[in-house]
Structure 1
Amino acid sequence: MSDLLEVLAQPRSDTGKGASRRLRRTGLVPGIVYGGNAEPTMISVRHNELDRQLDHEAFYSSLLDLKLGNGTTKVVLKDLQRHPAKPFVLHVDFLRVSSDEKLRLTIPIHFHNEQTCPGVKMGGKVSHNVTEIEVSCLPADLPEYLSVDMGEMGLGDIVHVSELQLPPNVELTHSLDPETPVVMIYAPQAESTGDEGAEDAAGGEETS
């Protein structure tokens, strides 16, 4: 996992759309590192390496080691621009982090014991309304994900944003209403069949 959280970058001086296109032709992705009381730095990273890392959920919500020249800087992935029609990353943004400054970052929600909970065993259907959420915390307290234990959920049960269990020193931002449903289990509606409709029609003909 450690190699997945290391970003090997090279500095770049050329800017503009033409320079970015030339970089992409050589298998590089243009990017920028900013924040942390330092000037923004223009960088490039290898597309194949970045693409491999982006396949892993942890890359989006973990502290990363950005290696640039002889130095290493702690960053988080802040923005990603993809080609609208092709499997290419066009641009990447990283945010420097400081140990004493809080981060705002979107992290995933993992749902546990979903298939074994009473509501699902009774035939209920699960609706995941929120699968990621923004949190605020110091870098050292950043969780990789939030967990929702569905082990005791029955038919009609709902877990709201306000009921999420947060690790110590981690807060939710105000991006969602506290009463927003995160996950719920609902009873499937009875399905009406074409045969039932035909029987109703036939019954109507007999009584006419």
Structure 2
Amino acid sequence: MAKEIPDLVAEARTGTGKGAARQARRNGKVPGIVYGNGKDPTPIQLDFNPLLTKLRAGRFMSTLWNLKVEGQDDVRVICRGVQRDVVKDLPTHIDLMRLHRNTRVNLFIHVDFINHEEAPGLKRGGTLVVVRPEVELVVTASDIPDHITVDLKGKKIGDVIHISDIELPAGAKPTIDRNFVIANIAAPSGLRSEDNADGGEGEGEVVETTEMDPDVAPTDAE
């Protein structure tokens, strides 16, 4: 399930601080900092348009990247922060963290649902209610899964899918230490209306949320 590691091309940047960052932006670049793995922070810059394309494609911060800088060894990194213009919502600075191949890191991994056509509950008009389209897992940098899979085969109306129902990749584990809900098969609206008319009380799903502890990264003063 490990994904191919895509390249992220950057250039070494001379100088740090507010002035150097502004100069990089005037040149059509997005300034950034690479830090971590026991090494000194390294200032870099990336071409604006390719970076914007990657950001808009989604999952940028949950992707392991192979950072390529001319004259330097390739290094694996993940994004720990993207600063944006408050008006235009365009990237103005990026923070990247170096990873060793054995580093354990928290990442949000996409949940993929399969075999919709083999779920009796969906055939009867039920609705798949996705509570968590992504799940935060602790994974090894050298073996980051592209997704985790939920098999809907045999699922009936009223069935609830928990994290314990999913086979996780070897070495991966949820950051939340409880059996939280991923999705459920809800009854058709007509059936729910009939139940309400009969005085039945529906029990709503509690949508749990979690927040990542942000890493503190050295950045250019803005």
Calculate the TM-score normalised by the size of structure 1.
Answer: 0.78
- In the alignment, residue 85 of structure 2 is paired with which amino acid? H
**Shift of residue 52 of structure 1?**
2.2
- The structure 2 residue matched to 1:123, chosen from 122, 125, 129, is 125
Change (3 A) 1:86 1:115: farther
| Percentage identity across paired residues of the two chains | 33
Question: What per-residue deviation string (whole Å, max 9, x for no partner) do you get for residues 13-69 of structure 1?
Answer: 343445433322322111111111111112110111112223445654343111123
Question: What per-residue deviation string (whole Å, max 9, x for no partner) do you get for residues 104-136 of structure 1?
Answer: 222211122235522111111121111112212
**Shift of residue 73 of structure 1?**
0.8
- In the alignment, residue 31 of structure 1 is paired with which amino acid? G
- In the alignment, residue 103 of structure 1 is paired with which amino acid? V
Q: Which one scores higher on RCO, CA 8 angstroms, separation ≥ 6?
A: 2
In the alignment, is the contact (CA less than 8 A) between 1:106 and 1:134 conserved in 2?
yes
Question: What per-residue deviation string (whole Å, max 9, x for no partner) do you get for residues 175-204 of structure 1?
Answer: xx5232111111133387xxxxxxxxxxxx
Match for residue 67 of structure 2? 66
Change (3 A) 1:183 1:32: same
- How many residue pairs were aligned? 189
Could you say which structure has the larger radius of gyration? 1
Q: What secondary structure does 1:54 align onto?
A: helix
In the alignment, is the contact (CA less than 8 A) between 2:14 and 2:20 conserved in 1?
no
Change (3 A) 1:81 1:154: farther
Match for residue 159 of structure 1? 161
Query: 1: CA distance between counterparts of 2:62 and 2:153?
Result: 26
Query: 1: CA distance between counterparts of 2:116 and 2:43?
Result: 44
- The structure 2 residue matched to 1:173, chosen from 150, 172, 175, is 175
Match for residue 186 of structure 1? 186
* Pair 1:52-2:32 in alignment: no
Q: What secondary structure does 1:44 align onto?
A: strand
- In the alignment, residue 7 of structure 1 is paired with which amino acid? L
Match for residue 219 of structure 2? none
In the alignment, is the contact (CA less than 8 A) between 2:12 and 2:69 conserved in 1?
yes
Change (3 A) 1:150 1:84: farther
Query: 2: CA distance between counterparts of 1:109 and 1:85?
Result: 32
Calculate the TM-score normalised by the size of structure 2.
Answer: 0.74
Query: 2: CA distance between counterparts of 1:123 and 1:86?
Result: 42
Match for residue 78 of structure 2? 76
Decide which moves more: 54-63 or 93-102: 54-63
- In the alignment, residue 70 of structure 2 is paired with which amino acid? G
